[in-house]
Structure 1
Amino acid sequence: METIYGIAENLWTGKTTTYTHHPFGPPYGLEKVCDGVYFFKGFANTIVLETDAGLVIVDPAGMVDVTMKYPAIRKVLQAPLHTAIFTHGHVDHVFGVDDYAAENARNGTAPPRVVAHRLLPERLRRYIRTAGWNSALNSRQFRGGVEKVAWPTRYWWPDLLYEGALDFTVGDQPIQVRHCRGETDDHSWVFFPSQKVLCTGDLFIYAVPNAGNPQKVQRFAGEWADGLKRMAALAPEYLLPGHGFPIVGRERVAEALLNTARLLEHLDSETVRLMNEGADLDRILNAVAVPPDLADLPYLQPVYDESEFIVRNIYRLYGAWYDGQPSHLKPAPQREQANVVAELAGGVSLVMEKALSCSRDGNHRLACQLADWAVLAAPEDDAVRSAAGRIYLDRALQEPSTMAMGIFLAEAARLGAQLPEGHLAAGRIIMAQCERGPFQKI
């Protein structure tokens, strides 16, 4: 069986890819990084630091893997949890304290301390308020709409909040925590200076950064790039990401951090440059691309998020939601638009015929737009819905990223499409991506 570090080496050298070993996918397990530091590769990752006062754990668990991580860590390490650090408030990072706290209580040990940025509790309160919405969108993102995601409304709240930077010592080990607006506004990264270990949280995920998620709130690409450069300036020997595989060696770590920063800087600066020239969103989306020398790097593949989505997010940050098309400011209802399009085309059947033709020709963007109009114009027509479902399914199978696959699969399922047996039919998008291997149609 391949080790996590073995896969990490093969990823770096090009012997395998993140399309086979998705950053969020298996194998899962605990491995030693260096003296006193352990790394649990999971859906999201967990890092453990040994001190003479107890354990420090960065992102103890997520809502889906608590029962996996706690016993795995306890098989190797028995010291009590002294401090947990939440790198940010996403639900795959802020669980897992409960078991350690209960253990401390049984043993008469002080409760664990939980460190986070001051904005993290505000995020958790928002999650409670929007639980239904988050359940729906995460069902699309990770399950293709096939299986409902039960969104949590109970959390372990941090008790030590900081603003921009926090330095502290646990036992014999110094720890540095720094704030960086990036994937979230409450994001932290952690550095263990004695071991030169960098814990990036989701500021590095061994893929195109999650700076554009189409279903989530604002990201901050420019500040994110600045944070990555600050990390590189510390000359870490080990990069332990929030998702994906570790990177070992000062030169490799610096390369990964600085190239990821360069990608974000490029997308940010080019988007802003075109905005300053008066370009609308459509022109910007069709003009901004990833530099060729970055596009083939093993740790910058669009296996989860995509640069196109990042450009949209950057535009939203600086330009709000108006996309520059005047008719979009106060548009006619979509169904009314669809009825007119169908009338001009000579009927819904002709719209769908053209949609299917575009799909066969590989013009999936136009095929889906036409299919939308056909379904809106004839929402009760089973034949139209079936054809549209096939179009969306075919498009989903062409997509490299988890996010695009999830949304298109959810629409295919809503329209009644028969999903391929196996992982997709069971709503396991990431596993389907891993099974697909080097990017090609599923």
Structure 2
Amino acid sequence: MSKLKHLVTLIALIGSTATFAATESKPATEFTKAANQQVLKDLPFSDKQDFADAAKGFIAKPETLTIKNAKGDVVWDLEAYKKYITLDAPAPDSVNPSLWRNAQLNMQYGLYKVSDKIYQIRGFDLSNITFIEGKTGWIVFDPLISPETAKAALDFINKTLGKRPVVGVVYSHSHVDHYGGVRGLASEADFKSGKVKVIAPEHFTEHAVSENVIAGNAMGRRAIYMYGALLPRNERGGVNGGLGQTTSTGSPTLVLPNITVTKTGQEVDVDGVKMVFQMTPGTEAPAEMNTYFPQHKALWMAENATNTMHNILTLRGAQVRDALKWASYLNETIETWGGKVDVKFQSHHWPRWGNDNIVDYFKKQRDLYKYTHDQSVRLMNQGLTGEEISETITLPPELNNFWPNRGYYGTLRHNSRAVYQRYMGWYNGNPSNLNNLPPEMVGPKYVEFMGGEEELLKKAQASFDKGEYRWVAEVLKHAVFANPNNTAAKELLADALEQLGYQAESGPWRGVYLQGAYELRNGVPSTGGTQTASPDTIRAMKPDMLFDYLAVRILPEKAAGKKLALNINFTDIKEKHTLYVENAVLNHTRKQAAKPDATITMSKTTLDDIQLGATTLEKAVAGGKVKIDGDAAAFEDFMGMLDTYKFWFNIVTP
């Protein structure tokens, strides 16, 4: 296989249809049962307004919801959850009652009327798909992750309400669960001709393509933990992802926008539907926007205000978001449309109706992020570190007991650390942590200082028997990194992580803990979970983005002492680039070298085909689609400098 085929290896964050056996899971301990029972006492479970809102406007649903691709592979299966998550079932001992409540709400699926001419289909993917009725067709907001799930939703609404073509698509922001299913809505000809208007915020394409390129492999591996896509579907496994049940597993697509929104207040009319946009860059996504429908007094909030506390820093890894900016945009929303909105809806969860109710909600969501920011910074300036802040900070009752502010996706603990990280970085100021030892080196020392493995395990078991699961996890990670063959240490650590997962209110926290427990007991998986980027994503990558990705794959030991200059000429996009390797660093520029070691001439389309496996470098050269002038060996030398990433790297073991 040509090395060039591996120029880009993007990791989709949607996991695999494979799930793990649940035979190794253990029941909730008495401490976990007590902790979960305390949640029932502490939170206002008698408040049923969310259940009324989630049911309001219901029109129809398919009796079963299993969606397959053309090959017959299941890409979405709500039936697996329906077997054990029902509205009348109390929370099992192994599930935090608040998370169970969220799962029950997210299981309300089907077609709903939000307002006059506004409909949503929920439960067909992690996100909602929204249909706005125009004069002649549908304007679709956020077409899910997979074309299969988007098409199933379109087919269902057309079957139920009457067939209408899709005449417009709006991407609210640059995350894959809000655009990946777009090609399930219309034909290639309709998109190419511009018959379907595709609207997105400024810089959408750049961020949609780039988010998982540079750090894609590491983020993809950690996403396996965060989303719980591989966990069994039962009360000791995957229950809820916070924003929805989980992610669909089709191959995401991307149609580039033909209308770009650049400023707040910009108006666009599609098929008689007037939309007014609010730009909110740097909040939940780098490119994001809300939409107001003046004729319906309806406000679409993208993912800036859902029915959960969101992430300031996602557990799969990303750039830290700005909690202060997030709050300021929500305040702008209140000031702009607070007195003009009768229904608020968004790309996850269920809507909210009534002006007073909506404004109260906006204020509490705004103040959730503002409080998290302000109090984290106050404690930071008192000298507390990120860990200390997360252990100290609490929400006031009016924010804490408001169901849409609960930590089903983000949590106050890790969001407060993210605020600290945004301002202060990884170093907490303690000299002992400036150049501290990594886990593989520190583990044996801890075990030695604790009296050896046998003594450590004895003490850890005593702590486990007291329900001190956080401490057991802290101690035993050292034992496992000191001796990954110590089965007893791994088993006890898995038991502790499992109980922490059972107690977690956050869907991602539950996934992280339970996936960690699985890998300690069964080893790291070797198949499933990985998927190269979809063809649309590959083709949307600009050369500069590709070369930045190549630069982070340079192997210093192979590049050290070498100097190379490679001119790259793309014939179809009329761009010329040069790659320079010097000082074990790859730089790229559009100013070409006068005397390159080699010049490679090809179309960007040919490069895309090679990356996608439609052809090989050798075949492209033989067919005249790639021409190499100069020292062909220099090009091969360069390709030999590129590292390849192992997806299933270890996390809970060395």
TM-score surpassing 0.5?
A: yes
Give the CA deviation at 1:110. 4.5
How far residue 189 of structure 1 moved from its aligned partner, in angstroms, is 1.1
Match of residue 99 from structure 1: 184
What is the aligned counterpart of 1:188 among 289, 294, 308?
289
1:259 equivalent in alignment to 2:364 = yes
Alignment-mate amino acid for residue 359 of structure 1: F
Cα pair 2:226 2:508 within 8 Å, conserved: yes
Unaligned runs of 5+ in 1: 419-426, 428-442
1:58 to 129, 141, 147: 141
Q: Give the deviation of 1:202 after TM superposition.
A: 1.2
What corresponds to 1:161 in structure 2?
260
* 1:334-385 residue CA offsets vs partner (Å, 9 max, x unmatched): 1221111111111112222322332332322211111101111111122221
Verify the 8 A CA contact 1:177 1:191 in the aligned structure 2: yes
| Conserved 8 A contact 2:115-2:343 | no
CA contact (8 A) 2:180 2:253 kept: no
| CA distance in structure 2 between the partners assigned to 1:95 and 1:10 by the alignment | 25
One-letter amino acid of the counterpart of residue 54, structure 1: G
| 1:144-223 aligned within 5 A | 146=231, 152=251, 154-165=253-264, 166-180=266-280, 181-217=282-318, 218-223=320-325
Q: Quote the offset at 1:5 in angstroms.
A: 9.6
Task: Report SS of the residue matched to 2:301.
Answer: strand
* CA distance 1:24–1:312, shift in 2 (3 Å): farther
Residue in structure 2 matching 1:358, options 463, 470, 475:
463
Partner of 1:324: helix, strand, or coil? coil
TM-score by length of 1: 0.84
Judged with a 3 Å threshold, the aligned counterparts in structure 2 of structure 1 residues 399 and 251 are, in CA distance, closer, same or farther, namely same
Q: 2:408 aligns with which of 297, 303, 308?
A: 303
Query: Which deviations, in whole Å up to 9, do the C-alpha atoms of 1:158-206 show, x marking residues without a partner?
Result: 2322333231112332101222131111121111111111111111221
- Structure 2 counterpart of 1:215, one-letter code: R
Counterpart residue number, 1:35: 116
Letter in 2 for 1:112: V
Q: 1:89 aligns with which of 149, 174, 199?
A: 174
Find the residue that maps to 2:173 and give its secondary structure.
coil
Quick check: 1:84–1:112 contact (8 Å CA) kept in 2? yes
Query: In the alignment, what sits opposite 1:68?
Result: 152
Query: Are the structure 2 counterparts of residues 47 and 374 from structure 1 closer, same or farther at C-alpha, using a change threshold of 3 Å?
Result: same
Q: Report deviation, 1:6.
A: 8.0
Task: Give the equivalent residue in structure 1 for 2:436.
Answer: 331
Q: Is the Cα–Cα contact under 8 Å of residues 274 and 284 in structure 1 kept in the other structure?
A: yes
Match for 2:496: what amino acid? I
Are the structure 2 counterparts of residues 11 and 209 from structure 1 closer, same or farther at C-alpha, using a change threshold of 3 Å?
Answer: farther
- Whole-angstrom distance in 1 between the partners of 2:469 and 2:372: 24
Aligned equivalent of 1:438 = none
TM-superposed deviation, 1:317: 1.9
In structure 2, how many angstroms separate the alpha carbons of the residues matched to 1:143 and 1:28?
20
| 8 A Cα contact 1:11 1:18, kept in partner | no
**Contact kept? 1:238, 1:246, Cα under 8 Å:** yes
TM-score (normalised: structure 2): 0.58
Aligned match of 1:135? 220
**Distance of 1:32 and 1:331 partners within structure 2:** 56
**Structure 2 unaligned spans of 5+:** 1-47, 57-87, 91-97, 233-246, 524-528, 530-654
Deviates more, 1:68-77 or 1:255-264: 68-77
> Residues 409 and 308 of structure 1: is their aligned pair in 2 closer, same or farther, counting only changes over 3 Å?
same
**Cα root mean square deviation, aligned:** 3.0
The one-letter code matched in structure 1 to 2:260 is L
Residues 331, 152 of structure 1: alpha-carbon distance in 2 compared, 3 angstrom cutoff: farther
User: Does 53-62 or 19-28 show the bigger shift?
Assistant: 19-28
1:293 aligns with 2:423: no
| TM superposition shift of 1:65 | 2.8
1:120 maps to which of 177, 192, 204:
204
User: What does residue 491 of structure 2 align with?
Assistant: 386
Which of 365, 372, 389 is the aligned partner of 1:284? 389
Provide the rounded CA distance (Å) in 1 between the counterparts of 2:173 and 2:473: 35
Report if the CA contact (8 A) 1:396-1:409 is conserved.
Answer: yes
Corresponding letter in the other structure for 2:142: D
After TM superposition, give the deviation of residue 227 of structure 1 in Å. Answer: 1.7
The equivalent of 1:250 in structure 2 is 355
Match of 1:38, SS state, is: strand
| Aligned residue number for residue 437 of structure 1 | none
Distance 1:79 1:311 in 2: 46
Amino acid paired to 1:287: T
Question: Per-residue CA shift, 1:52-108, capped at 9, x if unaligned?
Answer: 2532221022237324322122222533222211111212111232133318749x9
Aligned counterparts, 1:397-416, within 5 A: 397-416=502-521
Distance 1:113 1:137, change over 3 A: farther
* 1:227 aligned onto 2:329: yes
Alpha-carbon distance in structure 2 between the residues aligned to 1:363 and 1:336:
25
Figure out how many residues of one structure are paired with residues of the other and give that number. Answer: 413
Q: Tell me, yes or no, if structure 1 residue 318 matches structure 2 residue 418.
A: no
Match of residue 128 from structure 2: 45
Deviation at 1:260, TM superposition (A): 0.8
In the TM superposition, residue 215 of structure 1 has moved relative to its aligned partner by 2.1
The whole-number CA distance in structure 2 between the counterparts of 1:35 and 1:191 is: 14
Q: By how many angstroms is 1:143 displaced? A: 1.8
Question: Which residue does the alignment assign to 2:379?
Answer: 274
CA distance in 1, matches of 2:184, 2:252: 18
State the 1:319 CA deviation: 1.9
Residue identity (%):
21
365 and 224 in structure 1: CA distance in 2 versus 1, 3 angstrom threshold: same
Cα distance between partner residues in 2 of 1:21 and 1:280 = 32
The equivalent of 2:14 in structure 1 is: none
CA spacing shift, 1:96–1:417, aligned 2, 3 Å: closer
* Alpha carbons 1:145, 1:409 under 8 Å: kept: no
